[in-house]
Amino acid sequence: MANDLDEYIGPHLSDEGIAIMHVDMDAFFASVEIARDPSLRGKPVIIAGLGPRGVVSAASYEAREYGVHSALPTGIARRRCPNGVFMKPTAPYGEVSRAVMAIFREYTPHVQPISVDEAFLDVSGARRLIGPPARIARDIRARVNAEHGITCTVGIASTKFMAKLASEAAKPDGLGIVPRATELEFLHRLPIRAVWGIGEKTAQKLGRLGMRTVGDIARLSTDSLAASVGTASAEHLYALSRNIDPRPVRPERVEKSISNETTFGHDAPDAAAWGPTLLELSRKVASRARAAGWAGRGVTVKIRFGDFRTITRSRMLPAPTDVGHEIHAVARELADAAATAPVRLIGVKLDHLVEASAVGRQVALGEPEHGWRDIETAIDVATAKFGKGAVRSAGRLRRSDSD
């Protein structure tokens, strides 16, 4: 927590009249591994795919000091942190996540998981029966640590947006409270990238207007903002820069998934044969997710071999996505390792779904740093207008031309 913000956020401040909590597990995957093997404590632990296309899923805070972070290619992580302990994601993360969420529900039924390692809670109804939010937060943090050997950070505020900012400011292993009386002072001193929906491109546009802090955004009218970022984005930024966030905490729904699979007319002998289909399936799954307003953190590949033996391989992403390029990168790595014989059927599934609007800056404005979502959204539009055959991958076109 930054010292110059201590007067606006801290565990000692009043929680009167605020009841929205954001709970975020600290370096979740790495922390679960360390809890299983205490000899790893204090070491730079990096959970990652270990193949040539591998990416980092999680990094302990010791590893982060070397510039290692989620979604970083494993090869780069090895160069930045040559003494790191690199591990495949093998621990029962889902099991621990479900147990932690069950702890939350002992305090309130209003629990909205955002991913396996974070959730929003509305504890307004628990104040009379259990106690004030700060006491509930301390109880939750103590129980998670005692029962699972991992730590979590909690932010408490009047809105989801502010509660998440409070937890980010209090990390790691902290409790951050933003009272109503100081929330705008706290918010307006933060850099503009703290606002959900502001990625690199939007930050550059606002920077050209002299915008550096959230307070600078708050001083602009929606018309002035719209001239640089468009009307929809302007309204979004105008509201959040004033902590206007009416979204309620939505209790967890029954988990859903989005999947597509294909059975080959003849067994596909190798990756050159099934690879283009895997790419197409990943894009279809992503397109369906975008159309439904979902993003997912879990990717599963299903493979059925010529002898009808069927296997599945799964991995959790560092953050929820609705981008086919990202889904395919993980699906391909899983399939490369698992497809040891000719393939009869191959499928892709996206699960651990959350509302795309709740994910944060990369999904919120359709402005991911890599630009792939923009490309795929344009393909969605072309397909809707001209039909499914309007846009095909270059690999598919080359195969069709040679047929």
Judge whether 26 and 171 are in contact, CB under 8 Å: yes
Helix (H, G, I), strand (E, B), or coil: what is residue 47? strand
Q: What share of the chain has pLDDT > 90, as a percent?
A: 55
pLDDT in tens, 48-70: 888 777 888 899 999 999 999 98
Model pLDDT, residue 89: 82
Q: Reduce the secondary structure of 324-348 to three states and give it as a string.
A: HHHHHHHHHHHHHHHCCCCEEEEEE
Model pLDDT, residue 228: 77
Q: Which CATH architecture has domain 190-240?
A: Orthogonal Bundle (1.10)
Where does 235-290 show beta strands of DSSP type E? 258-268
Task: Examine the residue annotation and report whether 106 is marked as an active-site residue of this protein.
Answer: no
Which stretches in the chain have pLDDT values below 50?
1-3, 254, 360-370, 394-403
Helix (H, G, I), strand (E, B), or coil: what is residue 386? helix
* Domains of the chain by residue range: 1-178, 190-240, 258-402
User: Can you give the length of the chain in residues?
Assistant: 403
Model pLDDT, residue 384: 54
Helix (H) or strand (E) holding 136: helix 133-148
pLDDT in tens, 15-46: 888 999 999 999 999 999 999 999 999 999 99
Q: Which fold has domain 1-178?
A: Alpha-Beta Plaits (3.30.70)
Model pLDDT, residue 389: 52
Does the domain spanning 258-402 belong to CATH 3.20.20.70? no
Q: At what angle do helices 271-292 and 324-338 cross, to 10 degrees?
A: 140
Model pLDDT, residue 382: 57
Exactly one of 33, 62, 118, 326 is catalytic; name it: 118
Model pLDDT, residue 206: 85
Model pLDDT, residue 377: 67
Q: How far apart are CA 109 and CA 126, in angstroms?
A: 10
Model pLDDT, residue 252: 61
